[in-house]
Structure 1
């Protein structure tokens, strides 16, 4: 299942690759299907568009979708003396990816692992990937609170991650699940950077008018209830879905769309939080 050539990197003196990462952001969701990986992808692209050097780490071991969203799922991971080299998606090498999706022989194969093996793989991802002086490391996690989350947080403790972005949709079921994510963050001492309400309305591909199909405001009300920042709403946009399916950069193809405006507002707030830090 896993490519045999990708054994653990052999290094004489382990290098602390995460020490060169300025900001670490986790993207969490209480349930699947809320567009968490899409949000993580657009945040990473938005940060790169703002001139930042970004790494995107996919620790959703059983459902890795990041490589396909960038249309690089056929790429191979290479090793150097320092560890694993991530896959860059641009010529300028401003956006790098790492995912177990690069390591499986057949992308249709299921990853059937118990907790200890998942923990070991995530530890390797966090310790052995050569990120090389990046501004932001965005970590896309699985839904819920799993072994992957606990392993990720345990391995990040000494690096003081900036915190977590929580993704919800407007429906009450999704909002209820995010309440558990807030509790998880507080119990594990991970700051909540803010909440994003995804699929907040539907953008008509013809007139670009936004209609509230699933209602609106659940994420904002939740942020107010728990006294955490609200980062904004991202509408349900068929063009964004097409770009994700086809590995295209939405930011480059739909500059005037209300969806892109919403994404840019979220990214601007993340950068502003960075500037406001002492």
Structure 2
């Protein structure tokens, strides 16, 4: 049975546990109906390797930025460097960037500075900003809103697992929420309720692989082929068939990641 086409909007194919089996990972994803994957560079010094993965595999696109948990340890990103990356035909998004106060609250000032640099690059390139947010809801909502008033940009809240107030703030700005395997965990009903309150035309699906594998693979290495498991939960949330939910989230991806949609 052929799976309905779907998109994994966020994965990390350069991380060791996936990179060591990359041809198999991509093949299994395609066999599972995943037509496109966006692999994310989390440290700009790794950009050449991540770019090479996208160049070597037709279904793979890439994005790049400095992850907030690395912001204090990596050179500060520059707007011009991010714009230069965006010249690559398969580079489709800015980030992931954001705020993470769970383990790295001591670097919050550096994280906020880095976030604003990435936002400016998103403005200037018209590419979507890819946001990581953990235990920083108030500052995240404030900065995203402040910056949007200063000049519009597009954005996805990747692997969304924050509170309802941040979801509402992001949606009010016209942003998207991305559903990861966390939404499929049995104890994640509160998160499923947040997604249920969001318009289905503002939702993406992702794996964040190799992390956060959804049931029935929880606790194991995640990979893009498992996108469908999370999407089936998403379909249930919205009362849609799997095929309809896959089609709607793929259309949402095309709208936000316009450069991937236009790629020949």
Normalised by the length of structure 1, the TM-score is 0.41
Larger CA Rg, structure 1 vs 2 = 1
Pick 1 or 2: higher relative contact order, CA cutoff 8 A, min separation 6: 1
- Whose helix proportion is higher, 1 or 2? 2
Normalised by the length of structure 2, the TM-score is 0.43
